[in-house]
């Protein structure tokens, strides 16, 4: 069973198509595998939508904190713009 199907059974309203409007240097296969792994953890933990978003949001914050301080706001702005365009 795909992780998206498992998430739907947990009443998470996530879309089966994730499109981030950006040209990537990473292969679709690699990106999809990492996304699947992340979703599998959320399913395993039976994360509710609010818990899943809180965990993913904290992870995003931790990742952005690894970016040089002078570039963090721009990275966060680009991320939020891409996120808004994908929903």
Quickly list DSSP for 2-43. Answer: -HHHHHHHTT----S-----S--SS-HHHHHHHHHHHHHHHH
Nearest to 52, CA basis, from 61, 64, 43 = 43
pLDDT given at position 6: 53
Tell me which of 24 and 58 has the higher pLDDT. 58
Under 8 Å between Cβ of 56 and 18: no
Asked if pLDDT for residue 83 goes beyond 90, the answer is: yes
User: Does the pTM of the predicted model rise above 0.75?
Assistant: no
Residue-level pLDDT at 24 = 76
Distances, alpha carbon 8 to alpha carbons 1, 33, 64, in Å:
11, 19, 29
- Better pLDDT: 26 or 54: 54
Give the model's confidence band at 45: pLDDT under 50 very low, under 70 low, under 90 confident, else very high.
very high
The residue-averaged pLDDT of 49-63 equals 98
pLDDT at 1 over 50: no
Does the pLDDT value for residue 84 go beyond 70? yes
């Amino acid at each position: 069973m795909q992780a998206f199907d498992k998430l739907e059974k947990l009443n998470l309203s996530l879309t089966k198509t994730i499109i981030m409007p950006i040209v990537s240097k990473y292969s679709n296969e690699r990106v999809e595998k990492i996304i699947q792994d992340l979703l599998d953890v959320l399913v395993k933990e039976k994360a509710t939508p609010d818990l899943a978003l809180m965990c993913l949001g904290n992870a995003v914050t931790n990742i952005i904190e690894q970016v040089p301080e002078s570039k963090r706001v721009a990275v966060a702005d680009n991320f939020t713009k891409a996120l808004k365009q994908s929903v």
